[in-house]
Structure 1
Amino acid sequence: MRPVRTRHAQRRPRGTRAAVLVALVAVACLGLAACSSDDGGEGSEPDAGPEGQKVSKGATLDATWPLTGLPVTGSQTAAQDHPVMVVKMDNTPSSAPQRGLDAADLVVEELVEGGVTRLAAFYYSRIPGTVGPVRSMRASDIGIVSPAGAAVVTSGAAPVTLQRVRGAGIDFFSEGAKGFFRDSGRAAPYNLFTDLAATTTLVESAEARPDDYLPWGDAQDLPRGKPAGSLSASFGSHTTTWSYGKDGWTNSNSYAAQGEQFPADTVLVLRVQVGDAGYRDPAGNPVPETKLEGKGDAMLFHDGRVVRGQWSKKSLQAPIALSVRGKELTVPAGRTWIELVPAATGSVGIG
């Protein structure tokens, strides 16, 4: 298919810093090196990604990374010449082994049709090579990626979803764009991958540092909470399980390749409202739409404990705010996995 230029999202100015962490570093620039879809959840033909050229101007960082709150160290860069990249990844047994999760800064797990889930894996401080399997977008992704001004790597989407994503000003790249390839050793549609370092070169430079995705803070600031050595987040047909140990929180039933699991310091569970996206998949299942705006209950799992509070989000584009007993709740700086568990039909077990 012919390449089509997608609309570029506006970059918002940097917000107020929540984390008090160390040291500015010297500014340097880091050079980093869709088509028809057989994606089972969507019966559509996505656009190919744009062949746009980057500009040389990059987003200058301050002391911390926006997706983790961790300090930018002297061995890293003080400027990034790309926006946040989000890869839509399959999260069913057919996806095993998933590639590239270990390099993500942050992961969001969301409900799709049939009670199973997909992942939105966020990359910014590090852009890896092979990532996937890559699957399709949902309207739910607008509220997930917009606060970061992110570009999405996807296998496509249904026409109604494409229209809404374009209307939200979100860049996306699909099969046919640079970096996408099919793994001949896997069955379609679970064989689409991207060389993310190559695909990222198609994106125009971000001119402003992304806002902090979460209100970052320090573990010492957390309320005491209650002991929690395990948790299970049930979405319907799929339940994601976690256990706490010396290396943080481990996804006990991960589909990631050996050595490529996401190393979660924190698991943040948000109980969310889920509506109907207004169309059905090829099997006749209604497609759900997670409503990541408004407010709901939150559970923050860190260091073997759980703190219960509330989350709020004023709009799809707004950042996530957290509170406990009317006071701001911050997330300890580190790598966070967010579970968007349906409030009405999902459940969370704590052990």
Structure 2
Amino acid sequence: MLGNTASPTPTGKTRGARRTPRLLAALALVGALSAGQAAFSWAGETAPHGNPAPTEATSPFTGLPAEPAPVLAVKIDNHKGARPQTALEDADIVFVEKVEGGLSRLLGLYSSKLPTAVGPVRSAREYNIEQLRMFGRPALAYSGARAEVVDMINASTLYGVSHEDFPDAYYRGTDHEAPHNLYGYPDKILQEAPAAGTSDDIGFRFADDAPAGGTPTTERAVDYGAATTSFTWSAEEDRWLTSFDDAPATSSDGDRLGGKTIVVQKVAMPPDSSGETPYEETVGTGSATVLRDGQAYETTWDRPTAEAGTTFTQANGEPMTFDRGQVWVVYEEAK
């Protein structure tokens, strides 16, 4: 999947995604490990137990080799009319969020590599402002929002790069009907955010081997009422395959979507200031189920402030380590 992504062009045809030269060669990781580097990844200067920190640049979002780079968050449509989406497979992290009417919306977080195009792009929500503050000052690509939310975005630390304010960074494709056919050019969006923050530690920890104590698991689903997101373990592909509303989720070039680690994070979802949209409360603490390597782990998530990252801790007090690769975070309403 990393080599042949196709994205809708303004004419509706597909073209290969242009990757920026951020992702280091995978051989660098193999060579580092064979030379005795620790298999545990972290963002600080010193590893647990006094081990020396690795010298190679590693993405704090995926645990894979990558140079620090600007962070771009994109609000992505998940209506049935918007599928298949473009370049979700290129995201470091995919967030699944509940919106009005029990539907779902996605947020793709890009840093390690940039596709040529991404989308369909849709509107932002009030909770995205607090949610994204743990990434420092990322660029946020979106199309439309309540006037009050636009004011909040403009007053926040985020670089809001909306379709309304920067139309040249977007285009209408012909693969879906409006309003599910707006796509963004990531390179042009980042040009409008010249001081966007670069990738940094957000609390995730990675290790090659799964920790002990997991429960063998093959499936997990989160139901929002009018939309369901589910994951099925594939031993053959060594990852969790994603489905939307019981149908296999694919990219616009036909590849199956899925992640190496799935986090089902239970959060409160009271109404936001409009009284209509759920507000995912991502600051605080709660329970989370982490899926990796065909196993489920019950953990505790903790994010003390909006500026802080989110940590995941096992019942024995040890950090929950993710598998290296794309991470999906699905918000589930805490009961």
Q: Is the TM value for this pair above 0.5? A: yes
**Does residue 196 of structure 1 match 2:166?**
no
The answer to whether residue 304 in structure 2 is matched with residue 309 in structure 1 is no
What code does the residue aligned with 2:130 have?
G
In structure 2, the partner of 1:166 is 154
Asked whether 1:331 is paired with 2:330, we answer: no
> Does the 8 Å contact 1:265/1:334 carry over to 2?
yes
Is residue 236 of structure 1 aligned with residue 225 of structure 2?
yes
Tell whether the 8 Å contact from 1:277 to 1:288 is kept in structure 2 after alignment: yes
Cα offset, 1:324, TM superposition: 1.6
Q: For the Cα contact (< 8 Å) 2:68–2:199, is it kept in 1?
A: no
Structure 1 segments unaligned to the other structure (5+ residues): 1-13, 25-62, 73-77, 281-285, 345-351
Residue pair 1:95, 1:255 contacting (<8 A) in 2 also? no
- Seen in structure 2, the aligned counterparts of structure 1 residues 226 and 88 have a Cα distance that, compared at 3 Å, is same
Distance 1:333 1:213, change over 3 A: farther
> Which residue number corresponds to residue 80 of structure 2?
93
Cα distance between partner residues in 2 of 1:222 and 1:250: 21
Question: In structure 2, what is the Cα distance between the partners aligned to 1:167 and 1:200?
Answer: 19
Residues 21-73 of structure 1 deviation map (CA, whole Å, 9 limit, x = unaligned)? 7543xxxxxxxxxxxxxxxxxxxxxxxxxxxxxxxxxxxxxx2012212123x
Cα distance, 1:339 vs structure 2: 0.5
Percent identity between matched residues is: 27
**In the alignment, what sits opposite 1:272?**
267
Work out the CA distance in 2 between the residues paired with 1:311 and 1:241: 21
CA distance in 1, matches of 2:154, 2:189: 19
User: Residue 210 of structure 1 aligns with which residue?
Assistant: 199
Distance 1:79 1:165 in 2: 24
Deviates further, 130-139 or 216-225: 216-225
Deviations 1:225-245 (A, max 9, x none): 100111111122111111111
Question: SS where residue 165 of structure 1 aligns?
Answer: helix
Query: Which one-letter code corresponds to 1:121 in the other structure?
Result: G
Specify the SS of the correspondent of 1:220.
coil
What does residue 63 of structure 2 align with? 69
- Is the 2:266–2:286 Cα contact (8 Å) retained in structure 1? yes
- 1:107-146 Cα offsets, whole Å, 9 max, x none, are 1111100111111101101111121110011112123321
Q: Which residue of 1 aligns with 2:252?
A: 257
Which deviations, in whole Å up to 9, do the C-alpha atoms of 1:69-117 show, x marking residues without a partner? Answer: 2123xxxxx453xx20011001120111211111111111111001111
CA contact (8 A) 1:147 1:319 kept: yes
The answer on whether the counterparts of 1:140 and 1:290 sit within 8 Å (CA) in structure 2 is yes
One-letter identity of the residue aligned with 1:113 = E
2:265 is paired with a residue whose SS is: strand
Q: 1:305 corresponds to which letter in structure 2?
A: Q
Q: Distance in 2 between matches of 1:18 and 1:103?
A: 30
Question: Does structure 1 residue 300 correspond to structure 2 residue 308?
Answer: no
Deviation by residue 1:156-200 (Cα, 9 ceiling, x = unmatched): 211121222233321111115232011245322111111222222
8 Å Cα contact 1:136/1:156 also seen in 2: yes
Separation in structure 2 between the aligned mates of residue 238 and residue 141 of structure 1, nearest angstrom: 20
Alignment of 1:56-205 (within 5 A): 63-72=57-66, 78=67, 80=69, 83-149=70-136, 150-176=138-164, 177=166, 178-205=168-195
Point out which structure has higher relative CO (alpha carbons under 8 A, 6+ apart): 1
SS of residue paired to 2:279: strand
Pick from 286, 295, 311: which aligns with 1:321? 311
Partner of 2:16: none
Aligned residues: 280
- Answering whether residue 213 of structure 2 is matched by residue 224 of structure 1, we say yes
Q: SS at the partner of 1:189?
A: coil
> What is the one-letter code of the residue matched to 1:211?
D
Instruction: Please give the alpha-carbon distance, in whole angstroms, between the structure 2 residues aligned to 1:98 and 1:160.
Output: 28
Q: How far is 1:255 from its partner?
A: 5.5
Distance 1:274 1:17 in 2: 36
Structure 2: stretches of 5+ with no match in the other structure:
1-41
Native 8 Å contact 1:216 1:333 kept in 2: no
CA distance in 2, matches of 1:64, 1:136: 31
| SS at structure 1 position matched to 2:297 | strand
